[in-house]
Structure 1
Amino acid sequence: MKEKEKKIIEAGISLFARKGYSSTSIQEIVDACGISKGAFYLYFKSKEALLLAAFKYQFQTIQSKLDALPVKDLTPRETFIAQLVTQLEEVQKNKEFIIMQTREQTIPINSEVEEFVRKISAEIGSFYHKSLLNIYGTAIKRFIYDLNIILQGIVHSYLKLIIFDKTTIDLHKLAGFILNRMDDLAAGFTSSNEEPILTADCIEKLSKLYPEPSREDIVRQIKLSKDKIDNEDIIITLDVLEGEIERETPRSPVIQGMLGNIRDEPTLDDLTTMIEKFFKLK
């Protein structure tokens, strides 16, 4: 991202949060940046386009901070708590912008914004899904979707207190407290004879409402996977995969060959499935 583009986005976020989206004019944004309207339109075709860029910028900022966390030597529980605290901290920092979105109902403002919001929701669901499986293993697999949706509800409720009711909460304590409640629920689920409410078939139908991962999403997952793997041969395979996927025209036989080298690595099952689905290899 070019420095001027970043400056416009950050000015937009600040003004939208302070004045509201509807009340902020493009003139005010360019004045805050010290640029002309012509320079603004070189990067954004409209104020709506800037709003979408602001959403993406904030989400990518959170992703970057999560990716940079030193979690390689942490347990799954420690990793989840560190990641959840980071998420909560970043949301808390941007609460005025979030309040503006709710107050003015800027979501959805157009189909692109709506699709991106759905993408964020899918990313959060995927993050919780992987975290819960890493913590509780296959014992909870039957109820994983119910546990996931309950976790999302609990986090959302506490965020409402923090953002809208301006409640001061120790976020490290909150993250541990939430995970302890997941322990209680997981214990109850594993000893239960009930049928789950959310099944894989149900989630498969719901997933069709959400956008597919992009090529950039796949490359990001490859980079994250390399940081968690110690096997040099697998890291080399992932390097080749990353380079091939970043080509203007990726070659399917090369991708299939590299995927064959990592099929016996269970920690890469989700990545393999994502790549196969994106390139229609199955």
Structure 2
Amino acid sequence: MKEEKKEEIIESAIKLSAKHGFYNTSVQGIADDCGISKGAFYHYFDSKEKLHIAIFQYYFEQMHEMLGKIDNSGLSPREIMRQQLRVPFDQLSKQREFFIIYLREQNFSINKELQGVMHQSQLDMVKWYKQNLERIYGNAIQPFISDIILLIEGMRNSYMATILFHDLRLDADRIAHFFNEPHGRCSTSIP
């Protein structure tokens, strides 16, 4: 029960922060949205900053859980990577508010603990790319792996920003297929 209420507070904070910005969203506003008192809020989170960190941990844990399910699906390495590359795009459609917060936070100074959470998520992502690329291509990929990871991540971020800020509906499966296409054929078009 306590975990469910904690998740409800996190979801409320994400929703309200996407509208007003995290720092303009009050604890009282979050408490009101959840139907709890301000004092009850502090029962779940010691401070608004701890809630801020919990928002990012919550999202990254959801992502890791989804990636893990696909990783253990028994599919071929190429199909695993293709399906896993879809996850952020699928998440964007479900959690648009989180992505707005995430992009805002990358542009502002944030506390050291949150920087650590975001840094760890980036390290995990690099490790994930490396592991999947090595599964597909073996050791032959080693001289190029850093460049490939940067290119894929840059393209993924650009597509996600385009979807988010221009409200375009792009086919996540086609984008993931393009990233994972050995011949480099682009199969995605922007209207």
TM-score clears 0.5: yes
Q: What is the distance in 2 between the residues matched to 1:145 and 1:113?
A: 25
User: 2:98 maps to what in 1?
Assistant: 97
Task: Tell me what 1:24 maps to.
Answer: 25
CA contact (8 A) 1:11 1:32 kept: yes
**Which residue does 1:225 correspond to in 2?**
none
Structure 2: distance between partners of 1:107 and 1:59: 19
1:67 matched to which residue of 2? 68
- Alpha-carbon offset, residue 53 of structure 1: 0.4
**Contact 2:14–2:101 (CA<8 Å) still a contact in 1?**
no
Superposed CA deviations along residues 237-278 of structure 1, whole A, max 9, x for unmatched, are: xxxxxxxxxxxxxxxxxxxxxxxxxxxxxxxxxxxxxxxxxx
Question: What displacement does 1:70 show?
Answer: 6.8
Deviations 1:134-162 (A, max 9, x none): 11111111221222122111211111211
Amino acid of the structure 1 residue aligned with 2:140 = A
2:106 and 2:149 mapped to 1: Cα distance?
27
Structure 2 CA distance for partners of 1:144 and 1:102, relative to 1, 3 Å: closer
Percent sequence identity over aligned pairs: 37
Q: Unmatched 5+ residue regions in structure 2? A: 185-191
Aligned residue number for residue 187 of structure 2: none
For the pair 1:84 / 2:85, whether they are aligned, the reply is yes
Q: Does 1:50 align with 2:84?
A: no
Question: Separation in 1 of the partners of 2:177 and 2:45?
Answer: 41
In the TM superposition, 1:95-174 aligns within 5 A as 95-103=96-104, 107-174=108-175
* Bigger Cα Rg: 1
**CA distance 1:141–1:101, shift in 2 (3 Å):** closer
Task: Please list every run of at least 4 consecutive aligned residues from structure 1 whose deviation after the TM superposition is greater than 3 angstroms.
Answer: 100-108
- Equivalent AA in structure 2 for residue 17 of structure 1: A
Pairs aligned (count): 183
Alpha-carbon distance between aligned partners in 1 of 2:103 and 2:87, rounded to the nearest angstrom:
22
Equivalent pair of 1:107/1:114 in contact (CA under 8 Å)? no
CA-based RMSD of the aligned residues comes to 2.0
The residue that corresponds to 1:11 in the other structure is: 12
Q: 1:134 is aligned with what amino acid?
A: R
Offset, 1:72: 3.5
Q: How far does residue 26 in structure 1 lie from its aligned partner after superposition?
A: 0.6
Moved more, 97-106 or 61-70: 97-106
Contact 1:30-1:36 within 8 A present in 2 as well: yes
SS of the counterpart of 1:69? helix
Greater relative contact order, per chain length (Cα 8 Å cut-off, separation 6+): 2
Report the Cα distance in structure 2 between the residues aligned to 1:99 and 1:59, rounded to whole angstroms: 15
Give CA deviations for 1:49-108 in whole Å, capped at 9, x if unaligned.
111101111111111122223754211110001111122211332233322443476754
Matched AA of 1:171:
A
**Gap regions ≥5 residues in structure 1:** 186-282
Which amino acid letter does the alignment assign opposite residue 121 of structure 1?
Q
